[in-house]
Structure 1
Amino acid sequence: MKNKLLFSFLVLFSFCVFAAIQQQRPTLYIIGDSTVRNGSGKGSDGLWGWGSLVGAHFDTTRIHLENHAIGGRSSRTFLTEGRWDKIMASLKPGDFVMMQFGHNDGGAINDTSRARGSIKGIGDETDEIDNLLTKKHEIVHSYGWYMKKYINDTKSKGATAIVCSLVPRNVWKEGKVQRASSDYGKWASEVARSEKAFFIDLNEIIAKKYEADYSEAKLKSEFFPGDHTHTNYAGAKFNAQAVVEGLKDLKKCPLTKYLKKK
Protein backbone atom coordinates (compact mmCIF):
# COMPACT_ATOMS: atom_id res chain seq x y z
CA MET A 1 0.00 0.00 0.00
CA LYS A 2 2.81 2.38 0.93
CA ASN A 3 4.61 1.62 -2.32
CA LYS A 4 1.49 2.37 -4.33
CA LEU A 5 1.01 5.68 -2.52
CA LEU A 6 4.64 6.59 -3.06
CA PHE A 7 4.40 5.72 -6.75
CA SER A 8 1.23 7.80 -7.14
CA PHE A 9 2.90 10.72 -5.37
CA LEU A 10 5.95 10.52 -7.62
CA VAL A 11 3.78 10.40 -10.75
CA LEU A 12 1.78 13.41 -9.58
CA PHE A 13 4.94 15.28 -8.60
CA SER A 14 6.55 14.58 -11.97
CA PHE A 15 3.45 15.76 -13.78
CA CYS A 16 3.39 19.00 -11.77
CA VAL A 17 7.07 19.64 -12.46
CA PHE A 18 6.56 18.97 -16.16
CA ALA A 19 3.53 21.29 -16.26
CA ALA A 20 5.50 24.03 -14.48
CA ILE A 21 8.34 23.73 -16.98
CA GLN A 22 5.88 23.86 -19.87
CA GLN A 23 4.32 27.04 -18.48
CA GLN A 24 7.70 28.71 -18.03
CA ARG A 25 8.71 28.15 -21.65
CA PRO A 26 7.89 30.99 -24.02
CA THR A 27 5.67 30.18 -26.99
CA LEU A 28 6.28 31.08 -30.61
CA TYR A 29 2.90 31.55 -32.29
CA ILE A 30 2.93 31.46 -36.09
CA ILE A 31 0.05 32.95 -38.07
CA GLY A 32 -0.54 33.06 -41.80
CA ASP A 33 -2.05 31.23 -44.78
CA SER A 34 -1.53 27.92 -46.60
CA THR A 35 2.06 28.79 -47.55
CA VAL A 36 2.74 28.71 -43.80
CA ARG A 37 0.52 25.75 -42.88
CA ASN A 38 -1.16 23.52 -45.42
CA GLY A 39 -4.00 21.21 -44.45
CA SER A 40 -3.62 19.72 -40.99
CA GLY A 41 -0.03 20.92 -40.73
CA LYS A 42 1.20 17.47 -41.73
CA GLY A 43 0.86 18.16 -45.41
CA SER A 44 -2.21 18.10 -47.64
CA ASP A 45 -2.00 16.26 -50.98
CA GLY A 46 1.77 16.41 -50.55
CA LEU A 47 1.73 20.17 -49.98
CA TRP A 48 3.36 21.77 -46.95
CA GLY A 49 3.86 25.22 -45.42
CA TRP A 50 7.14 26.40 -43.91
CA GLY A 51 5.62 26.94 -40.46
CA SER A 52 5.10 23.20 -40.08
CA LEU A 53 8.82 22.52 -40.54
CA VAL A 54 10.55 25.50 -38.97
CA GLY A 55 10.30 23.92 -35.52
CA ALA A 56 13.17 21.57 -36.40
CA HIS A 57 15.51 24.57 -36.07
CA PHE A 58 14.46 25.42 -32.50
CA ASP A 59 15.36 23.90 -29.14
CA THR A 60 11.86 22.81 -28.16
CA THR A 61 12.98 21.97 -24.64
CA ARG A 62 13.28 25.72 -24.16
CA ILE A 63 10.53 27.13 -26.41
CA HIS A 64 7.10 25.87 -27.44
CA LEU A 65 5.86 26.35 -31.02
CA GLU A 66 2.24 26.65 -32.16
CA ASN A 67 1.48 27.02 -35.86
CA HIS A 68 -1.97 28.61 -36.12
CA ALA A 69 -1.73 29.45 -39.83
CA ILE A 70 -4.57 28.12 -41.96
CA GLY A 71 -5.16 27.89 -45.68
CA GLY A 72 -7.26 30.48 -47.46
CA ARG A 73 -6.99 33.18 -44.82
CA SER A 74 -5.98 36.76 -45.28
CA SER A 75 -4.84 39.31 -42.73
CA ARG A 76 -8.53 40.24 -42.50
CA THR A 77 -10.24 36.85 -42.18
CA PHE A 78 -7.73 35.45 -39.69
CA LEU A 79 -9.00 38.22 -37.42
CA THR A 80 -12.72 38.21 -38.25
CA GLU A 81 -13.02 34.44 -37.77
CA GLY A 82 -11.86 34.83 -34.16
CA ARG A 83 -8.59 32.99 -34.64
CA TRP A 84 -6.52 35.90 -33.36
CA ASP A 85 -8.71 36.25 -30.27
CA LYS A 86 -7.83 32.68 -29.26
CA ILE A 87 -4.12 33.48 -29.44
CA MET A 88 -4.57 36.73 -27.53
CA ALA A 89 -6.30 34.82 -24.73
CA SER A 90 -3.10 32.86 -24.01
CA LEU A 91 -0.37 35.23 -25.24
CA LYS A 92 1.95 36.21 -22.39
CA PRO A 93 5.08 38.30 -21.76
CA GLY A 94 8.14 36.72 -23.34
CA ASP A 95 6.17 35.02 -26.13
CA PHE A 96 6.64 35.63 -29.85
CA VAL A 97 4.29 36.04 -32.81
CA MET A 98 5.62 35.48 -36.33
CA MET A 99 3.19 36.59 -39.03
CA GLN A 100 3.00 36.26 -42.81
CA PHE A 101 -0.01 37.38 -44.84
CA GLY A 102 -0.61 38.78 -48.31
CA HIS A 103 -1.28 35.91 -50.70
CA ASN A 104 -5.04 36.08 -50.13
CA ASP A 105 -5.46 39.77 -49.33
CA GLY A 106 -5.82 40.73 -52.98
CA GLY A 107 -9.11 38.85 -53.39
CA ALA A 108 -12.62 40.28 -53.46
CA ILE A 109 -13.67 42.26 -50.42
CA ASN A 110 -17.29 41.17 -50.68
CA ASP A 111 -18.61 38.16 -52.60
CA THR A 112 -20.41 34.87 -51.97
CA SER A 113 -17.29 32.77 -52.48
CA ARG A 114 -14.56 33.85 -50.03
CA ALA A 115 -14.96 37.54 -49.16
CA ARG A 116 -11.45 37.70 -47.80
CA GLY A 117 -9.80 40.66 -49.50
CA SER A 118 -8.48 43.66 -47.60
CA ILE A 119 -8.04 47.21 -48.88
CA LYS A 120 -4.70 47.55 -50.62
CA GLY A 121 -1.99 49.51 -48.85
CA ILE A 122 -1.36 50.52 -45.26
CA GLY A 123 -3.76 53.44 -44.88
CA ASP A 124 -6.69 54.05 -42.56
CA GLU A 125 -9.44 54.00 -45.20
CA THR A 126 -12.36 51.61 -44.64
CA ASP A 127 -15.12 49.92 -46.62
CA GLU A 128 -18.40 49.28 -44.77
CA ILE A 129 -20.17 46.22 -46.12
CA ASP A 130 -22.90 43.69 -45.48
CA ASN A 131 -20.82 40.57 -45.99
CA LEU A 132 -22.49 38.38 -48.64
CA LEU A 133 -20.73 35.28 -47.33
CA THR A 134 -21.04 35.63 -43.55
CA LYS A 135 -24.28 37.67 -43.62
CA LYS A 136 -22.70 40.04 -41.10
CA HIS A 137 -22.18 43.79 -41.20
CA GLU A 138 -18.45 44.47 -41.36
CA ILE A 139 -16.02 47.34 -41.60
CA VAL A 140 -13.13 46.26 -43.81
CA HIS A 141 -9.70 47.81 -43.29
CA SER A 142 -6.44 47.88 -45.21
CA TYR A 143 -3.82 45.14 -45.19
CA GLY A 144 -1.57 47.47 -43.24
CA TRP A 145 -4.26 48.19 -40.65
CA TYR A 146 -4.69 44.48 -39.88
CA MET A 147 -0.93 43.92 -39.69
CA LYS A 148 -0.55 46.89 -37.35
CA LYS A 149 -3.24 45.41 -35.12
CA TYR A 150 -1.43 42.08 -34.88
CA ILE A 151 1.82 43.86 -34.05
CA ASN A 152 0.40 46.23 -31.47
CA ASP A 153 -1.80 43.58 -29.84
CA THR A 154 1.31 41.40 -29.54
CA LYS A 155 3.32 44.19 -27.96
CA SER A 156 0.47 45.02 -25.55
CA LYS A 157 0.90 41.52 -24.07
CA GLY A 158 4.63 41.97 -23.59
CA ALA A 159 5.39 39.64 -26.50
CA THR A 160 7.63 40.16 -29.53
CA ALA A 161 6.24 40.62 -33.06
CA ILE A 162 8.14 39.41 -36.13
CA VAL A 163 6.72 40.29 -39.55
CA CYS A 164 7.62 38.23 -42.63
CA SER A 165 6.99 39.31 -46.19
CA LEU A 166 5.11 36.66 -48.13
CA VAL A 167 7.04 33.79 -49.73
CA PRO A 168 7.39 34.23 -53.51
CA ARG A 169 5.44 32.20 -56.04
CA ASN A 170 7.14 30.24 -58.81
CA VAL A 171 6.45 33.02 -61.28
CA TRP A 172 9.33 34.35 -63.35
CA LYS A 173 9.83 37.18 -65.83
CA GLU A 174 12.95 37.63 -67.94
CA GLY A 175 14.91 35.16 -65.83
CA LYS A 176 13.96 36.70 -62.49
CA VAL A 177 11.48 35.65 -59.81
CA GLN A 178 8.69 38.19 -59.56
CA ARG A 179 8.87 40.01 -56.23
CA ALA A 180 6.18 41.59 -54.06
CA SER A 181 8.39 44.64 -53.60
CA SER A 182 5.76 47.03 -54.95
CA ASP A 183 2.80 45.73 -52.93
CA TYR A 184 2.48 43.26 -50.05
CA GLY A 185 6.19 42.79 -49.46
CA LYS A 186 6.69 46.55 -49.45
CA TRP A 187 3.68 47.13 -47.20
CA ALA A 188 4.81 44.46 -44.73
CA SER A 189 8.19 46.19 -44.48
CA GLU A 190 6.63 49.62 -44.01
CA VAL A 191 4.27 48.42 -41.29
CA ALA A 192 7.06 46.63 -39.41
CA ARG A 193 9.21 49.75 -39.55
CA SER A 194 6.44 52.14 -38.48
CA GLU A 195 5.37 49.93 -35.57
CA LYS A 196 8.94 49.03 -34.56
CA ALA A 197 8.55 45.30 -35.12
CA PHE A 198 11.20 42.90 -36.39
CA PHE A 199 11.04 42.21 -40.12
CA ILE A 200 12.25 39.31 -42.25
CA ASP A 201 12.14 40.02 -45.97
CA LEU A 202 11.29 36.42 -46.78
CA ASN A 203 10.08 37.35 -50.26
CA GLU A 204 13.48 38.72 -51.24
CA ILE A 205 15.57 36.12 -49.39
CA ILE A 206 13.84 33.17 -51.06
CA ALA A 207 13.65 34.83 -54.50
CA LYS A 208 17.42 35.32 -54.48
CA LYS A 209 18.00 31.72 -53.42
CA TYR A 210 15.68 30.46 -56.18
CA GLU A 211 17.49 32.51 -58.81
CA ALA A 212 20.90 31.30 -57.65
CA ASP A 213 20.20 27.60 -57.99
CA TYR A 214 16.97 27.04 -59.92
CA SER A 215 14.96 27.84 -63.02
CA GLU A 216 11.18 28.07 -63.22
CA ALA A 217 10.99 24.55 -64.65
CA LYS A 218 13.37 23.08 -62.07
CA LEU A 219 11.46 24.72 -59.24
CA LYS A 220 8.19 23.30 -60.51
CA SER A 221 9.73 19.85 -60.71
CA GLU A 222 11.31 19.94 -57.25
CA PHE A 223 9.15 22.24 -55.10
CA PHE A 224 5.84 23.12 -56.81
CA PRO A 225 4.05 19.95 -57.95
CA GLY A 226 0.52 21.37 -58.07
CA ASP A 227 0.60 25.09 -58.81
CA HIS A 228 2.94 28.09 -58.60
CA THR A 229 2.06 29.00 -54.98
CA HIS A 230 2.08 25.89 -52.77
CA THR A 231 5.24 23.94 -52.03
CA ASN A 232 5.77 20.28 -51.30
CA TYR A 233 7.72 19.05 -48.27
CA ALA A 234 11.10 19.84 -49.85
CA GLY A 235 10.01 23.36 -50.78
CA ALA A 236 8.59 24.04 -47.33
CA LYS A 237 11.81 22.79 -45.74
CA PHE A 238 13.78 25.10 -48.05
CA ASN A 239 11.58 28.06 -47.07
CA ALA A 240 11.81 27.23 -43.36
CA GLN A 241 15.59 27.39 -43.65
CA ALA A 242 15.24 30.80 -45.28
CA VAL A 243 13.11 31.97 -42.35
CA VAL A 244 15.86 30.93 -39.96
CA GLU A 245 18.52 32.66 -42.05
CA GLY A 246 16.48 35.85 -41.95
CA LEU A 247 15.93 35.48 -38.24
CA LYS A 248 19.66 35.13 -37.59
CA ASP A 249 20.27 38.42 -39.39
CA LEU A 250 17.96 40.34 -37.06
CA LYS A 251 19.87 42.42 -34.55
CA LYS A 252 18.83 42.01 -30.92
CA CYS A 253 15.87 39.74 -31.66
CA PRO A 254 15.40 37.60 -28.53
CA LEU A 255 13.94 34.69 -30.51
CA THR A 256 17.37 33.83 -31.92
CA LYS A 257 18.58 32.50 -28.57
CA TYR A 258 16.11 29.62 -28.87
CA LEU A 259 17.55 28.35 -32.15
CA LYS A 260 19.45 25.08 -31.98
CA LYS A 261 23.19 25.43 -31.70
CA LYS A 262 24.95 23.56 -34.47
Structure 2
Amino acid sequence: MTTIYLAGDSTCAQKSGGEKPMAGWGEFLPLYFMPAARVRNWAVNGRSTKSYITEGRLEAIKRAIQPGDFLFIQFGHNDQKIEDPTRYCNEEDYKRNLLAFIEAARSAGASPVLLTSVSRRRFDADGKLDPEAVGPYPRWMRELAAESGVPLLDLFALSQQLLEETGVQDSIGMFTHLAPGEHPNYPDGLTDDTHFSEEGAQAIARLALIAILDCPELTVLRDWLR
Protein backbone atom coordinates (compact mmCIF):
# COMPACT_ATOMS: atom_id res chain seq x y z
CA MET A 1 0.00 0.00 0.00
CA THR A 2 1.17 3.51 -0.85
CA THR A 3 0.24 6.50 1.29
CA ILE A 4 -0.16 10.06 0.07
CA TYR A 5 0.35 12.52 2.92
CA LEU A 6 -1.17 15.99 2.59
CA ALA A 7 0.66 18.72 4.52
CA GLY A 8 -0.99 22.10 4.24
CA ASP A 9 -3.42 24.66 5.61
CA SER A 10 -7.17 25.14 5.99
CA THR A 11 -7.86 25.22 2.26
CA CYS A 12 -6.88 21.54 2.21
CA ALA A 13 -7.72 20.41 5.74
CA GLN A 14 -10.58 18.18 6.87
CA LYS A 15 -13.31 20.28 8.48
CA SER A 16 -15.05 19.39 11.72
CA GLY A 17 -18.82 19.26 12.10
CA GLY A 18 -18.74 22.68 13.71
CA GLU A 19 -17.07 24.18 10.64
CA LYS A 20 -19.40 22.76 8.01
CA PRO A 21 -20.53 23.52 5.33
CA MET A 22 -16.95 24.77 4.85
CA ALA A 23 -14.74 22.09 3.30
CA GLY A 24 -11.11 21.48 2.37
CA TRP A 25 -10.17 20.05 -1.00
CA GLY A 26 -8.14 17.31 0.67
CA GLU A 27 -11.38 15.79 1.97
CA PHE A 28 -12.33 14.79 -1.57
CA LEU A 29 -9.00 13.66 -3.03
CA PRO A 30 -9.39 10.09 -1.70
CA LEU A 31 -12.46 9.64 -3.91
CA TYR A 32 -10.17 9.45 -6.94
CA PHE A 33 -7.83 6.77 -5.62
CA MET A 34 -8.23 3.03 -5.23
CA PRO A 35 -7.83 1.56 -1.72
CA ALA A 36 -4.22 0.59 -2.51
CA ALA A 37 -3.33 4.30 -2.36
CA ARG A 38 -4.36 5.70 1.01
CA VAL A 39 -4.67 9.49 1.38
CA ARG A 40 -3.85 10.84 4.85
CA ASN A 41 -4.90 14.45 5.23
CA TRP A 42 -2.53 16.01 7.73
CA ALA A 43 -3.27 19.58 6.67
CA VAL A 44 -4.22 21.83 9.60
CA ASN A 45 -6.20 25.05 9.74
CA GLY A 46 -4.17 28.22 10.09
CA ARG A 47 -0.71 26.75 9.57
CA SER A 48 2.18 28.12 7.56
CA THR A 49 5.35 26.25 6.68
CA LYS A 50 6.89 27.81 9.79
CA SER A 51 4.18 26.99 12.33
CA TYR A 52 3.64 23.49 10.91
CA ILE A 53 7.32 22.75 11.52
CA THR A 54 7.63 24.45 14.92
CA GLU A 55 4.59 22.58 16.24
CA GLY A 56 6.30 19.28 15.44
CA ARG A 57 3.90 18.28 12.69
CA LEU A 58 6.63 17.65 10.13
CA GLU A 59 8.41 15.46 12.69
CA ALA A 60 5.22 13.42 12.98
CA ILE A 61 5.20 12.92 9.22
CA LYS A 62 8.85 11.85 9.36
CA ARG A 63 7.95 9.14 11.87
CA ALA A 64 5.09 7.86 9.73
CA ILE A 65 6.18 8.18 6.10
CA GLN A 66 7.62 5.12 4.38
CA PRO A 67 9.61 4.36 1.21
CA GLY A 68 7.36 4.65 -1.83
CA ASP A 69 4.97 7.10 -0.17
CA PHE A 70 4.25 10.63 -1.36
CA LEU A 71 4.26 13.93 0.52
CA PHE A 72 2.07 16.63 -1.03
CA ILE A 73 3.14 20.04 0.31
CA GLN A 74 0.84 23.07 -0.01
CA PHE A 75 1.39 26.26 1.99
CA GLY A 76 1.27 29.98 1.33
CA HIS A 77 -1.94 31.50 2.66
CA ASN A 78 -0.69 31.78 6.23
CA ASP A 79 2.95 32.36 5.34
CA GLN A 80 1.59 35.77 4.21
CA LYS A 81 0.55 36.75 7.76
CA ILE A 82 3.14 39.48 8.26
CA GLU A 83 1.43 40.59 11.47
CA ASP A 84 2.05 37.16 13.06
CA PRO A 85 5.72 36.29 13.60
CA THR A 86 4.83 32.69 14.49
CA ARG A 87 3.59 32.15 10.94
CA TYR A 88 4.99 34.80 8.60
CA CYS A 89 7.72 33.78 6.16
CA ASN A 90 9.67 35.91 3.72
CA GLU A 91 11.07 34.34 0.57
CA GLU A 92 14.17 32.95 2.26
CA ASP A 93 12.18 31.48 5.17
CA TYR A 94 9.53 30.03 2.90
CA LYS A 95 11.94 28.28 0.58
CA ARG A 96 14.07 27.01 3.45
CA ASN A 97 11.01 25.56 5.16
CA LEU A 98 9.79 23.93 1.97
CA LEU A 99 13.22 22.35 1.57
CA ALA A 100 12.79 20.84 5.04
CA PHE A 101 9.59 19.14 3.85
CA ILE A 102 11.32 17.98 0.68
CA GLU A 103 14.26 16.54 2.61
CA ALA A 104 11.91 14.81 5.07
CA ALA A 105 10.29 12.93 2.21
CA ARG A 106 13.47 12.14 0.33
CA SER A 107 15.34 10.93 3.41
CA ALA A 108 12.53 8.43 4.01
CA GLY A 109 12.63 7.16 0.43
CA ALA A 110 9.35 8.93 -0.32
CA SER A 111 8.53 11.41 -3.09
CA PRO A 112 7.88 15.09 -2.33
CA VAL A 113 5.37 16.99 -4.47
CA LEU A 114 4.90 20.76 -4.28
CA LEU A 115 1.44 22.28 -4.78
CA THR A 116 0.99 26.02 -5.19
CA SER A 117 -1.71 27.57 -3.01
CA VAL A 118 -5.24 27.72 -4.34
CA SER A 119 -6.37 31.19 -5.31
CA ARG A 120 -8.56 33.40 -3.20
CA ARG A 121 -11.71 34.71 -4.86
CA ARG A 122 -10.52 38.29 -5.26
CA PHE A 123 -12.05 40.20 -8.17
CA ASP A 124 -11.72 43.95 -8.68
CA ALA A 125 -14.54 46.33 -9.62
CA ASP A 126 -14.01 45.51 -13.29
CA GLY A 127 -14.36 41.77 -12.69
CA LYS A 128 -10.65 41.08 -13.07
CA LEU A 129 -9.18 38.39 -10.82
CA ASP A 130 -6.17 39.44 -8.74
CA PRO A 131 -3.12 37.60 -10.14
CA GLU A 132 -1.42 38.11 -6.75
CA ALA A 133 -4.31 36.70 -4.71
CA VAL A 134 -1.82 34.71 -2.61
CA GLY A 135 1.05 37.15 -2.99
CA PRO A 136 4.40 35.96 -4.35
CA TYR A 137 4.22 32.53 -2.73
CA PRO A 138 3.08 30.56 -5.80
CA ARG A 139 5.92 32.09 -7.80
CA TRP A 140 8.45 31.29 -5.09
CA MET A 141 7.22 27.70 -4.95
CA ARG A 142 7.53 27.34 -8.73
CA GLU A 143 11.11 28.61 -8.52
CA LEU A 144 11.98 26.15 -5.76
CA ALA A 145 10.39 23.24 -7.60
CA ALA A 146 12.56 23.99 -10.64
CA GLU A 147 15.69 24.44 -8.53
CA SER A 148 15.20 21.27 -6.48
CA GLY A 149 13.79 18.97 -9.16
CA VAL A 150 10.51 18.38 -7.33
CA PRO A 151 7.24 17.75 -9.23
CA LEU A 152 4.90 20.74 -9.13
CA LEU A 153 1.10 20.77 -9.24
CA ASP A 154 0.22 24.39 -10.02
CA LEU A 155 -3.15 24.62 -8.29
CA PHE A 156 -2.85 28.40 -8.10
CA ALA A 157 -2.79 28.72 -11.88
CA LEU A 158 -5.51 26.10 -12.32
CA SER A 159 -7.79 27.63 -9.69
CA GLN A 160 -7.28 31.11 -11.15
CA GLN A 161 -8.31 29.77 -14.55
CA LEU A 162 -11.37 28.10 -13.03
CA LEU A 163 -12.44 31.27 -11.19
CA GLU A 164 -12.02 33.38 -14.31
CA GLU A 165 -14.07 30.94 -16.36
CA THR A 166 -16.75 30.70 -13.67
CA GLY A 167 -17.01 34.46 -13.24
CA VAL A 168 -17.65 36.90 -10.42
CA GLN A 169 -21.17 35.82 -9.52
CA ASP A 170 -21.14 32.10 -10.22
CA SER A 171 -17.86 31.58 -8.35
CA ILE A 172 -19.56 32.65 -5.10
CA GLY A 173 -20.97 29.14 -4.81
CA MET A 174 -17.46 27.71 -4.59
CA PHE A 175 -16.77 29.56 -1.34
CA THR A 176 -18.38 29.84 2.09
CA HIS A 177 -20.99 32.55 1.59
CA LEU A 178 -23.90 32.18 4.01
CA ALA A 179 -26.75 34.53 4.83
CA PRO A 180 -27.64 35.16 8.49
CA GLY A 181 -29.64 32.22 9.78
CA GLU A 182 -28.82 30.03 6.79
CA HIS A 183 -26.66 27.59 8.76
CA PRO A 184 -26.56 26.94 12.52
CA ASN A 185 -22.75 26.99 12.60
CA TYR A 186 -22.77 30.59 11.35
CA PRO A 187 -25.90 32.25 12.77
CA ASP A 188 -24.68 35.72 11.79
CA GLY A 189 -23.80 34.59 8.27
CA LEU A 190 -20.38 34.44 6.65
CA THR A 191 -18.67 35.89 3.60
CA ASP A 192 -15.41 34.01 3.11
CA ASP A 193 -13.56 34.17 -0.20
CA THR A 194 -10.69 31.95 0.94
CA HIS A 195 -12.37 28.82 2.30
CA PHE A 196 -14.41 26.53 0.13
CA SER A 197 -17.92 25.19 0.14
CA GLU A 198 -18.22 21.48 -0.58
CA GLU A 199 -18.84 22.38 -4.22
CA GLY A 200 -15.64 24.41 -4.36
CA ALA A 201 -13.56 21.84 -2.49
CA GLN A 202 -14.70 19.13 -4.89
CA ALA A 203 -13.79 21.35 -7.84
CA ILE A 204 -10.28 21.90 -6.47
CA ALA A 205 -9.83 18.18 -5.83
CA ARG A 206 -10.71 17.61 -9.49
CA LEU A 207 -8.07 20.17 -10.46
CA ALA A 208 -5.54 18.28 -8.34
CA LEU A 209 -6.47 15.10 -10.20
CA ILE A 210 -6.01 16.86 -13.55
CA ALA A 211 -2.62 18.18 -12.42
CA ILE A 212 -1.52 14.69 -11.35
CA LEU A 213 -2.55 13.25 -14.71
CA ASP A 214 -0.65 15.99 -16.53
CA CYS A 215 2.54 15.61 -14.46
CA PRO A 216 5.07 13.33 -16.19
CA GLU A 217 6.94 12.71 -12.92
CA LEU A 218 3.82 11.27 -11.28
CA THR A 219 2.87 8.60 -13.81
CA VAL A 220 3.12 5.96 -11.07
CA LEU A 221 0.11 7.53 -9.33
CA ARG A 222 -2.05 6.91 -12.39
CA ASP A 223 -1.98 3.19 -11.62
CA TRP A 224 -3.86 3.85 -8.37
CA LEU A 225 -6.56 6.12 -9.76
CA ARG A 226 -10.12 4.86 -9.99
Instruction: Assess same fold via TM > 0.5.
Output: yes
Letter of the 2:82 counterpart:
A
Q: After superposition, give the CA deviation of every residue in 1:143-178 in whole Å (9 maximum; x if it has no partner).
A: 111011101221111101111000000101343322
**How many residues align structurally?**
210
Letter of the 1:30 counterpart:
L
Percent of aligned pairs sharing the same letter: 28
What's the counterpart of residue 168 of structure 1? 119
Structure 1 stretch 249-258 or stretch 187-196: which is displaced more? 249-258
Please show how residues 10-89 of structure 1 align to structure 2 within 5 Å. Answer: 25-40=1-16, 44-60=19-35, 62-89=36-63
What's the counterpart of residue 195 of structure 2? 230
Check 1:43–1:94 CA distance in 2 against 1; reply closer, same or farther (3 A cut). Answer: farther
Given that residues 96 and 255 in structure 1 are in contact (C-alpha distance below 8 angstroms), is that contact kept between their aligned partners in structure 2? no
TM-score normalised per structure 1? 0.75
What's the counterpart of residue 167 of structure 2? 215
* CA-based RMSD: 1.8
Gap runs ≥5 in structure 1? 1-24, 124-141
Letter of the 1:155 counterpart:
R
Q: What is the SS of the residue equivalent to 1:78?
A: helix
Q: What is the SS of the residue equivalent to 2:176?
A: coil
Please show how residues 140-179 of structure 1 align to structure 2 within 5 Å. Answer: 142-173=93-124, 174-179=126-131
Distance 1:81 1:39 in 2: 20
Gap runs ≥5 in structure 2? 178-190
What's the counterpart of residue 138 of structure 1? none
Given that residues 38 and 49 in structure 1 are in contact (C-alpha distance below 8 angstroms), is that contact kept between their aligned partners in structure 2? yes
Check 1:45–1:215 CA distance in 2 against 1; reply closer, same or farther (3 A cut). Answer: same
Given that residues 173 and 197 in structure 2 are in contact (C-alpha distance below 8 angstroms), is that contact kept between their aligned partners in structure 1? no
Which structure is higher in RCO with an 8 Å CA cutoff and minimum separation 6?
2
What's the counterpart of residue 250 of structure 1? 215
CA shift for structure 1 position 215: 1.8
Distance 2:174 2:2 in 1: 35
Structure 1 stretch 165-174 or stretch 42-51: which is displaced more? 42-51
Q: What is the SS of the residue equivalent to 2:49?
A: coil
Check 1:232–1:166 CA distance in 2 against 1; reply closer, same or farther (3 A cut). Answer: same
Which of the pair has more CA radius of gyration?
1
CA shift for structure 1 position 109: 6.5
Distance 2:159 2:18 in 1: 21
Q: What is the SS of the residue equivalent to 2:169?
A: helix
What's the counterpart of residue 116 of structure 1? 87
Given that residues 74 and 114 in structure 2 are in contact (C-alpha distance below 8 angstroms), is that contact kept between their aligned partners in structure 1? yes
Given that residues 39 and 70 in structure 1 are in contact (C-alpha distance below 8 angstroms), is that contact kept between their aligned partners in structure 2? no
TM-score normalised per structure 2? 0.87
Distance 2:131 2:99 in 1: 22
